[in-house]
Chain A
Amino acid sequence: KNEVEQSPQNLTAQEGEFITINCSYSVGISALHWLQQHPGGGIVSLFMLSSGKKKHGRLIATINIQEKHSSLHITASHPRDSAVYICAVQTGTASKLTFGTGTRLQVTL
C-alpha cells in the first residue's frame, strides 16, 4: 500500500516569498502529480512528472525517484496562490491516483 506524506500541512507566507512543499511516498510509482484544490473544491492538475524537473510560470516541480521524494516550489508568491496543494502518486495499469493529505497555503499581503 502506497503512503503519501506531505509537509507542511499548513503554510502561511507573505507575498513575494519563495515557498516549498514536500512530498514523499513509499513504493514505486509510474508518475507523480501536483494538484491544486480551490476553496470551492475543484481540483486542477498542475504537473505530472516521472523524472527531473518541470516549470510552469512561477511554479517548479522536482522529483527524485531514488529517494521517493518530490517538491513543489512557488517563486514570488501571491495571494492568488492561496489554495490547497496536493501531491498524488500514480500506480497500476489503470493509473489510479493515491493522494496525500494536502498542504493548505495562505499567502498574505
Chain B
Amino acid sequence: EPEVTQTPSHQVTQMGQEVILRCVPISNHLYFYWYRQILGQKVEFLVSFYNNEISEKSEIFDDQFSVERPDGSNFTLKIRSTKLEDSAMYFCASRDGTRGGNQPQHFGDGTRLSIL
C-alpha cells in the first residue's frame, strides 16, 4: 500500500537556525497537510496546500513558517528561525481528492524536531 514518507525521523537544531522538514505524499494525491504535536498535547493543524497554494492555515502558521512543493513529489515545511517552542512532532498528511466525496488523510510517521 502506498505510504506518506517523512524525513528525517528526528532533527536536532540550534535555536535561531532554519530547518526544513520533508515529506513525500502519496503520488496521485492532491491535498497536502502539515500538523504538529507538542509532547503531551493534542495534534494541531498547521496548514493545508492544494493546487500549488496554501488553502488554509492556522494561527500557529505565522511568517516564520512556509511550505513548498518544489517538484512533483516533495512537500516541505520550512521554519525560518526556530524557537524552543517549535520543538514538537510534525506530521505530514495527504488526501486523494480526485474522486468525489470524502477520502481519508494518510499520515506519515512524523519528524521529531528538537530545538536546543
Contacting residues, chain B, for A96 (C-beta < 8 A): 33, 45, 48, 56
Is A94 in contact with B105, judged by CB distance below 8 angstroms? no
Interface size of B as a range? 20 to 34
Residues of B within 8 A of A98 (CB): 45
Tell me the complex Cα distance, A42–B110, Å: 6
Which residues of chain B are near A94, meaning CB under 8 Å? Answer: 31, 48, 50, 55-56
A98 to B6: give the CA distance in the assembly, Å: 21
A90 to B67, CA, bound (A): 21
CB distance from A99 to the nearest CB of B (A): 4
Task: Let me know if B112 is at the binding interface, CB within 8 A.
Answer: yes
Most chain-B CB neighbours within 10 Å: which of A45, A93, A94? A94
- Count residues of A near B (Cβ-Cβ below 8 Å): 26
- Whether A48 lies near B104 (C-beta < 8 A) is yes
Chain A residue at minimum C-beta to C-beta distance from B39: A41
Chain B contact residues, CB within 8 Å of chain A: 31, 33, 35, 37, 41-45, 48, 50, 55-56, 89, 91, 95, 102-110, 112
* A residues at B contact (CB < 8 Å): 30-31, 33, 35, 40-45, 48, 50, 86, 88, 90, 92-102
